[in-house]
Structure 1
């Protein structure tokens, strides 16, 4: 049975049909034809073969008003070494090519480096000259997304970035960038993506996101709600205003630092000197999206 991680990665490519083409071109340097639409099509390949043949995702790039197929991309998410894949992947490619009558690529997504190397091995079909070279998107090929604007424009890419690089040095910046994408997501995607990002990040990056969640955000994800409830409960038990003020001030600075923003001395001093909990909560939320630390103190907006 497919794991939660496997299904979550599959959903990223279904939710953003252009993602497969973007990863082929931008991450792997593979040429992709100009297209007017990327469409997820049926991945059931059992029309000719009696056995069950179902790829994870098949995306067809269409051109013009007549929606002519320009390229098909078979996306396979691989979390382990499966000896059956060298036999099924060539079938997926040839069957998809026959169905849609267009060039077809195999894109294998593996967030573990060792698995990615295994997936990239050439597959000798036994026919002279017919060797399939899987195009593998491993962790080193996944972009490190730390820019808020990029994250907002492509939420699935920043989620993929968190899954691939969430244990590294860029984890806090990736998490902060993801915050910019939250507002534009529907409830279902917000819940799923929050869980994926939070479960992928290291402890320090989680703490940064915890600070923002405690500041008054309301999220759909059960994982996120548990952190909010925990934070509120701890706040009630602590009952000491000075401790809460200091913690929230440090949260503001932590978010700014995680995003790589320079914090002038006067900004740091003003944040640490604040005695207004509501003001600090407002600054925590702003810290996730401002382009300059001084913008925390703007008199308009939230």
Structure 2
């Protein structure tokens, strides 16, 4: 359920944009300019090109002015990264330059990576070619997120506590961290508590959640919020599509049919289950991968 896992982390910053400032200052020791409030900006960073470019979240920190509109003093692009994606080495510099041009203020890239190996990969400097121009992403991985096991501390910073669960779920302290969060959530109204609990459930891979749930003192967990139910349903559909795509490629490979990278990518990116089912049937009889796409239009 990669989609649900990804969206759960993005949602945290939508609920509290100041979370980006907390991570930058407390976890990464980055000094920020004085500002009055933080708010979401459009995450569409498309330039005048055919390719759509959209970051996970964009947060602008603005300072109030007595005469004019509040002006941005800093903008932060938040990206959630759960695996290696070499395309980001090209798109992240573009995101920054596009946002800097749009808001006319300094910009930063904050990457949230719950896996330690992925966090290290994301933190590698990206050379742009021009002398002196190197982008080094600011990355929050497990080492930068505190372990929070005190329900009182959870109540003071729910979003950071959610990050704590997600980043440390597969450690020996995982059950204790989750128990502290769920205990603190009992003091919130049902809708708000359900939203935060569902974020955690959606963000964790199934096998990790199953392990944690065995150690919980609370009752068996059920999804509470419409947001979670919608995203879990999308995630299940996405997972089914991925399985169909791999089955198609496996059949073609077993039959000795070569599949060029562009066709393989097209099959993997398709989320139309009916089309994928038709491709899977055709994969058993076609003579080439081109014929597969031609037969099912």
Q: If the TM-score is normalised by the length of the shorter chain, which range does it land in?
A: 0.5 to 0.7
Do structure 1's residue 162 and structure 2's residue 165 form an aligned pair?
yes
CA contact (8 A) 1:36 1:63 kept: yes
Distance 2:39 2:199 in 1: 24
Q: Residues 54 and 125 of structure 1: is their aligned pair in 2 closer, same or farther, counting only changes over 3 Å?
A: same
User: How far apart are 1:213 and its partner, in Å?
Assistant: 3.0
CA contact (8 A) 1:161 1:174 kept: yes
User: How far apart are 1:73 and its partner, in Å?
Assistant: 0.4
Q: Look up the match of 1:263.
A: none
Q: Look up the match of 2:218.
A: 212
* Greater RCO structure (CA 8 Å; 6+ sep): 2
Distance 2:12 2:176 in 1: 21
Distance 1:158 1:131 in 2: 33
Measured against aligned partners, the alpha-carbon deviations of 1:58-95 in whole angstroms (never above 9, x if no partner) come to 00011125422111000011111111101000010111
Q: Look up the match of 2:251.
A: none
For residue 75 of structure 2, give the secondary structure of its aligned residue in structure 1. strand
Q: Residues 36 and 149 of structure 1: is their aligned pair in 2 closer, same or farther, counting only changes over 3 Å?
A: farther
Distance 2:93 2:70 in 1: 26
CA contact (8 A) 1:152 1:184 kept: no
Q: How does 1:40-189 map to 2 (within 5 A)?
A: 40-65=40-65, 66-178=69-181, 179-184=183-188, 187=191, 189=192
Q: Residues 100 and 162 of structure 1: is their aligned pair in 2 closer, same or farther, counting only changes over 3 Å?
A: same
What is the TM-score normalised by the length of structure 2? 0.67
CA contact (8 A) 1:58 1:72 kept: yes
CA contact (8 A) 2:198 2:224 kept: no
Distance 2:211 2:52 in 1: 44
User: How far apart are 1:220 and its partner, in Å?
Assistant: 2.4
CA contact (8 A) 1:107 1:137 kept: yes
Q: How does 1:288-299 map to 2 (within 5 A)?
A: none
Q: Residues 147 and 33 of structure 1: is their aligned pair in 2 closer, same or farther, counting only changes over 3 Å?
A: farther
User: How far apart are 1:143 and its partner, in Å?
Assistant: 1.5
CA contact (8 A) 1:167 1:202 kept: no
Q: Look up the match of 2:266.
A: none
Q: Look up the match of 1:194.
A: 197
What is the TM-score normalised by the length of structure 1? 0.65
* Unmatched tracts of structure 1, length 5 or more: 223-302
Measured against aligned partners, the alpha-carbon deviations of 1:218-275 in whole angstroms (never above 9, x if no partner) come to 98269xxxxxxxxxxxxxxxxxxxxxxxxxxxxxxxxxxxxxxxxxxxxxxxxxxxxx
* Number of positions where the alignment pairs a residue of Structure 1 with one of Structure 2: 219
Distance 1:2 1:100 in 2: 32
Q: CA RMSD in A?
A: 2.7
CA contact (8 A) 1:198 1:206 kept: no
User: How far apart are 1:25 and its partner, in Å?
Assistant: 0.8
CA contact (8 A) 1:108 1:137 kept: yes
Distance 1:186 1:95 in 2: 40
Measured against aligned partners, the alpha-carbon deviations of 1:136-173 in whole angstroms (never above 9, x if no partner) come to 11111111112222211221111111011112132233
User: How far apart are 1:180 and its partner, in Å?
Assistant: 0.9
Measured against aligned partners, the alpha-carbon deviations of 1:103-140 in whole angstroms (never above 9, x if no partner) come to 11000111111111111111111111111011111111
User: How far apart are 1:204 and its partner, in Å?
Assistant: 6.7
Distance 1:176 1:9 in 2: 19
* Unmatched tracts of structure 2, length 5 or more: 227-297
For residue 5 of structure 1, give the secondary structure of its aligned residue in structure 2. helix
